[in-house]
């Protein structure tokens, strides 16, 4: 029978904030004799690495306390922990109470002036860009890590062929034109940008920015957080959006980059508990939008054949990745 790795057990316990008694119990539970466990724990008093691990565990505990305070404040707010709905919001109000406050909102009346609302359809797409070669994410259903391995799923397809397949209205998560494909698609589908118009909340100096999304009902973007603030605007069909706040970090099971191990699980809307995060849920339909602040976890599911645009061109600096020093370590 192999012997337990005492150093690994101690490191795990120290990182978790165990005191000497808890460390001793951890070792004994793993099969270490009581005498050997006492010896190992006593040695930690002179180990500078153990001291630093304990210091770091204390810092993490304080961060947990700060997150808990943010949760209490969110629940004690007028109306409780809810998603605000804003109708044609004033830019000053939006930036002060949502963008700068890192608070999501469902937004109405932002694109009522877009020709796309009446023009966009599969027939329109085929008529103006059917011969274009676009890039899509494909064969997603065979890969549980399709979102993490996006480069492996990039394929060039003729837009008209994709449109003919979409006419079958088959629910699928296997093929999806996403923001990740925008390097190719912004040029290939530039004619579709003529169906849009500036959005009052965004930077007017960047009128043709935006990322095009198109897919069948059933497409799923798994739980993750973005590295920018995002505005997701629905043009065709409906999408269900579930969101969880940054202060629920410990319950979001984040073990890789910006992705959650909850993946595509339909976490229920509500206050959550000690294991499940609190979740806000809404459905956005044609002409509606959702503001997704940086760091907010979200999952997006297409309930219909769906065409959307997303934007990051706000009136504030929206680059938050430069100081993301843990990228690649988690």
Taking only the tens place, the pLDDT of each residue in 211-251 is 999 999 999 999 999 999 999 999 999 999 999 999 999 99
Is residue 112's pLDDT more than 80? yes
81-311 topology per CATH: Jelly Rolls (2.60.120)
Mean pLDDT of 270-291: 97
Cβ proximity of 129 and 189 under 8 Å? yes
pLDDT at 2: 77
Report the distance separating Cα 120 and Cα 129, nearest Å: 12
**Are 295 and 246 a contacting pair, CB within 8 Å?**
yes
Instruction: Return the minimum-mean-pLDDT range out of 3-7, 108-112, 269-273, 302-306.
Output: 3-7
Please state the rounded mean pLDDT for residues 302-328: 91
Q: Over pLDDT 70: what percentage of the chain?
A: 100
Give the residue carrying structure tokens 């595509």. 264
Percent of the chain with pLDDT over 90: 92
The arithmetic mean of pLDDT across residues 72-86, rounded, is: 93
d(CA 86, CA 108): 6
What does each C-alpha distance from 287 to 22, 72, 114, 263, 320 come to in angstroms?
A: 56, 34, 9, 28, 28
Cα–Cα distance measured from residue 73 to residue 247, given in angstroms and rounded to the nearest whole number: 11
Kindly state the average pLDDT of the residues 183-206. Answer: 96
Q: Quote the radius of gyration of the chain (alpha carbons, Å).
A: 24
**Domain layout of the chain by residue ranges:** 6-66, 81-311
Region 46-72: what's the mean pLDDT?
A: 95
CA 49/CA 221 separation, integer angstroms:
40
Average pLDDT, the chain: 95
Pair type for strands 84-87 and 105-108: parallel
User: Is 227:295 a contact under the CB 8 Å cutoff?
Assistant: no
Asked if residue 6 lies in contact with residue 44, where contact means CB atoms within 8 angstroms, the answer is: no
pLDDT given for residue 327 in this prediction = 75
pLDDT at 138 over 80: yes
Query: How is residue 50 written in tokens?
Result: 């153990």
Helix (H) / strand (E) element for 119: namely helix 116-119
- The enclosing H or E element of 84 equals strand 84-87
How many other C-beta atoms lie within 10 A of the C-beta of residue 265? 14
């Amino acid at each position: 029978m192999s012997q337990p790795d005492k150093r690994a057990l101690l490191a795990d316990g120290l990182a978790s904030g165990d005191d000497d008694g808890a460390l001793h119990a951890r070792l004994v539970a793993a099969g270490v004799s009581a005498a050997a466990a006492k010896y190992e724990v006593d040695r930690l008093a002179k180990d500078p690495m153990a001291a630093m691990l304990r210091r770091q565990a204390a810092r993490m505990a304080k961060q947990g306390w700060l997150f808990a305070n943010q949760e209490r404040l969110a629940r004690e707010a007028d109306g409780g922990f809810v998603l605000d709905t804003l109708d044609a919001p004033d830019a000053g109000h939006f930036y002060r109470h949502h963008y700068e406050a890192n608070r999501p909102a469902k937004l109405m009346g932002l694109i009522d002036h877009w020709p796309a609302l009446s023009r966009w359809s599969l027939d329109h797409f085929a008529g103006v860009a059917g011969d274009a070669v676009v890039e899509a994410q494909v064969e997603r259903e065979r890969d549980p890590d399709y979102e993490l391995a996006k480069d492996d799923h990039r394929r060039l397809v003729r837009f008209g062929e994709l449109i003919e397949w979409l006419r079958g209205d088959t629910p699928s998560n296997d093929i999806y034109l996403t923001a990740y494909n925008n390097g190719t698609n912004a040029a290939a589908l530039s004619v579709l940008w003529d169906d849009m118009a500036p959005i009052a909340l965004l930077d007017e100096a960047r009128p043709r920015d935006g990322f095009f999304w198109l897919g069948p009902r059933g497409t799923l973007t798994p739980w993750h957080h973005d590295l920018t603030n995002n505005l997701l605007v629905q043009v065709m069909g409906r999408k269900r959006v579930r969101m969880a706040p940054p202060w629920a970090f410990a319950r979001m099971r984040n073990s890789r980059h910006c992705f959650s191990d909850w993946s595509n699980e339909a976490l229920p809307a509500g206050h959550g508990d000690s294991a499940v995060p609190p979740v806000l849920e809404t459905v956005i339909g044609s002409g509606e939008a959702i503001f997704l602040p940086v760091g907010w976890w979200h999952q997006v599911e297409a309930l219909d054949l769906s065409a959307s645009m997303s934007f990051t061109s706000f009136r504030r600096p929206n680059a938050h990745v430069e100081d993301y020093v843990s990228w690649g370590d988690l």
